[in-house]
Amino acid sequence: MMKLLSKVSVFGLLISAFSLSGCQKTESPNTEKTASSTEDTAVKTLSIGFQKSSLNLLVARQQQLFEQAFPNAKIEWREFPAGPQMLEALAVGAVDFGYVGNTPPIFAQAAAKPLSYVAYEVVAPTGQAILVHADDKINTLQDLKGKRVAVQKGSSAHELLAKTLQKAGLSWQDIQPIWLPPADARAAFDKKAVDAWAIWEPYLGTAELQGHTKTLVDGSAFPTTYSFYIGNPDFIQKHPDSAQKFIHSVNSADQWIVKHQDQALQIYAQSTGLSTPVAQQVLNKRPKPSPVYALNPEVIKSQQQIADLFKQEQLIPVQIDIQHSVWSAQ
């Protein structure tokens, strides 16, 4: 009887030991996996590309909204003169999120550059225009024929010029496009080295307030135009919740702007070096509020129509699919 009890006790101890050992083995890998997963997805550095037109981002920087959304990350800010230069940086991983007009991502896609459309914002109808000299005899769109027109290649102004030529019944062969970034285009325009200038805010407002210009056509002559917040696909894949946090931070900045107009004006003027009158003119044109949303079918269709026009006009070498590069939270 004692031998039997002894065997039962030993057997029970073995079962208990095995059970405890089994519990420990199933818990440990899960705990390690969770810790590893959290460590892998944590954003350590967030690089944001912006332009002088990116008021939401400028306010978000001043209010440190991205520091709140990504508390353990180092936030880096990189300024660019226009969208094409920013998307070049994004393609090589130097920028994680950025703000551009509607045209730069189309040219980037056509060049097989990696990007994701994260969100859109409605552009003020009068926020871009084609300017001519006040004393010129260019009064109609058709008068652009044979003229030298300065424009940043691949920018939203490039698309405005394309739509203007189409509306006027002109082709790209009918004008002399002069491909210049905004600062150089402004210098050429002031010297009358070009006859017209396709440009956006705040360069537009600066030229208008300093006089000697007249607006030939602006964005109000065409359907709604959108600007976009673009993300690096690899970065978003590594940090799946980063895009939603980015959108939330931008919208928080927009809500702050609506409630603090005077302070927003000061931030904009100080951040860009613009005079207060120019900064005020830009803000006056801006929709209030100016929220940011993930892309919907209407916006995707609008962007696809631009891409199709550019292919038709042989401005890009290949047909592209906008939907293919649209980020989705699902």
Q: Are residues 313 and 232 in the same domain?
A: yes
Do 133 and 215 share a structural domain?
yes
pLDDT score at 324? 95
Question: Is residue 66, in this structure, part of any structural domain at all?
Answer: yes
309 within a domain of the structure (yes/no)? yes
Number of independent structural domains in the chain = 2
Question: Do 135 and 195 sit in the same domain of this protein?
Answer: yes
pLDDT over threshold 80, residue 11: no
The alpha-helical segments, DSSP class H, found in 111-215 are: 156-168, 182-190, 203-209
Q: Say if strands 45-50 and 74-79 run parallel, antiparallel, or are unpaired.
A: parallel
Mean pLDDT of 29-35: 39
Choose among 118, 106, 103, 126: nearest CA to 224.
126
Q: Which residue has the higher pLDDT, 19 or 198?
A: 198
The reply to whether 234 and 87 lie within a common domain is: yes
Residues 204 and 237 occupy one common structural domain: no
Q: Which domain holds residue 266?
A: 45-123+225-325
Q: How confident is the model at residue 155 (pLDDT cuts 50, 70, 90)?
A: confident
Position with higher pLDDT, 11 vs 173: 173
- The pLDDT score that the predictor gives to residue 227 is 94
Domain boundary residue, one of 221, 247, 282: 221
Per the prediction, the chain carries an average pLDDT of 87
Assess if residue 21 is contained within a domain: no
Q: Is residue 29 part of a domain?
A: no
pLDDT at 330: 67
* Domain co-membership, 112 together with 229: yes
Which of residues 221, 246, 266 is at a domain's end?
A: 221
Higher pLDDT, 307 or 20: 307
Residue 262 is assigned to a structural domain of this protein: yes
Whether residue 157 lies inside any domain: the answer is yes
222-279 per-position pLDDT tens digit: 999 999 999 999 999 999 999 999 999 999 999 999 999 999 999 999 988 889 999 9
172 and 196, same domain (yes or no): yes
Q: What is the CATH number of the domain that holds 162?
A: 3.40.190.10
189 shares its domain with 71 = no
Same domain for 234 and 318?
Answer: yes
Instruction: Note whether residue 290 is domain-resident.
Output: yes
Q: Calculate helix-pair angle for 297-312, 156-168, nearest 10 degrees.
A: 70
Identify the pLDDT of residue 310: 93
Is 67 contained in some domain? yes
Cα-only R_g, the chain: 27
- Mean pLDDT value of segment 120-149: 95
* Beta strands, E only, the chain: 45-50, 74-79, 97-100, 116-122, 128-133, 148-151, 176-179, 196-200, 213-218, 226-231
- Please state at what angle helix 261-272 crosses helix 242-259, rounded to 10 degrees: 110
Q: Can you give the pLDDT at residue 260? A: 96
pLDDT at 118: 98
Residues 22-38 as b/e (b if ≥16 CB within 10 A, e otherwise) read: eeeeeeeeeeeeeeeee
Q: Choose one of 178, 203, 221: the last residue of a domain.
A: 221
Same domain, 215 and 237: no
- Do 161 and 279 reside in the same domain of the chain? no
**206 and 296 housed in the same domain:** no
Q: What is the pLDDT of residue 211?
A: 74
Average pLDDT over residues 287-303: 95
At 65 the pLDDT is: 97
pLDDT of residue 239: 96
End-to-end CA distance of the chain: 66
